[in-house]
Amino acid sequence: MSTPSNPSLSIVIPAYNEERRLPGTIRDVRSFFARFPQVEVIVVVEKSTDRTVELAKEAAGGDPMIQIVANDVQRGKGYAVKCGMLRARGQFVFFMDADLSTPLAEVLKFLAEFQAQPEVDILIGSRAEAKSQIIKKQSWVRRNMGRSFNRFVQVFGVEGIKDTQCGFKAFRKRAVEPVFSRQTLNGFAFDVEILVLAQMMGFKIQTIPVRWVNSPDSKVRIWLDPFKMLIDLIRIKRLARRTLRARPLEPLSDSHAQ
């Protein structure tokens, strides 16, 4: 298999200190997408303190479908996702967590939804939809902290979206550069910022129910990161407005309708 010159699908996976989980994830991704010739997988590894990069390259086995990007800094999940999304070339670009909490088969469901609704620019996985299947739940503490955060999101961030933090989102190519080139937050609240920016720029967002299995090895530090996320959340709309004043979106052309 050779690297596709014009991939139809890009998968972005951010990683930090993932030597235990990432090699298996890469092997699963290689196996799942082996029958899809127009796929590129971009694994962005933040500067880690373990052997994530080495083991990721070993798991990739020289497969040209898999790109291992070793960042020389550790700025946060948002920064890793941004690096991968701006590098991606596919007509549809997904980012997903290294633990594959949302199974890879959901990619096919999202692609079918894009085909059925050509006006939709962004699909985000939601664990809050009635048809979502939560195979393994988070702890009581994490669930309640998540619900509290989402209440703040409704006030300060993205109205009408009940779950902004599910790490499984997909974008048409036309929305990737405008949104991610304007992203400023590097931490876990980046999900809300990109959705606020997308809404302000007029891109159409839709939630879609997903299957989801909680991973016990979450990188969110339960007694620190939520407070940092809340501080970011309170200023997200102000940040987004300032960003768009400095870099307004060009009027949507016919390419947006493609």
Summarised one tens digit per residue, pLDDT across range 145-155 is 556 666 666 66
Average pLDDT of span 71-78: 95
Q: Where does residue 152 fall: left (phi above 0), alpha (psi -120 to 50 degrees), or beta otherwise? A: alpha
How many C-beta atoms lie closer than 10 Å to residue 249's C-beta?
14
| Per-residue pLDDT at 161 | 81
| Per-residue pLDDT at 147 | 63
| Per-residue pLDDT at 167 | 86
SS (H, E, C) 219-235: CCCCCCHHHHHHHHHHH
pLDDT, tens digit, 9 for 90 and up, residues 136-195: 555 445 555 556 666 666 666 677 787 888 889 999 999 999 999 999 999 888 999 999
How is residue 255 annotated by DSSP? G
Question: What's phi and psi for 46, nearest 5 deg?
Answer: -65, 150
Query: Domains in the chain, ordered, with CATH?
Result: 1-98 (3.90.550.10), 101-247 (no CATH)
Mean pLDDT across the chain: 86
Q: Please return the burial class of 7, using the count of CB atoms within 10 Å of its CB with bins 0-12, 13-18 and 19+.
A: buried
CA atoms of 172 and 239, how far apart (whole Å) = 24
pLDDT, tens digit, 9 for 90 and up, residues 91-148: 999 999 999 999 999 999 999 999 999 999 999 998 866 566 565 555 445 555 556 6
| Per-residue pLDDT at 4 | 66
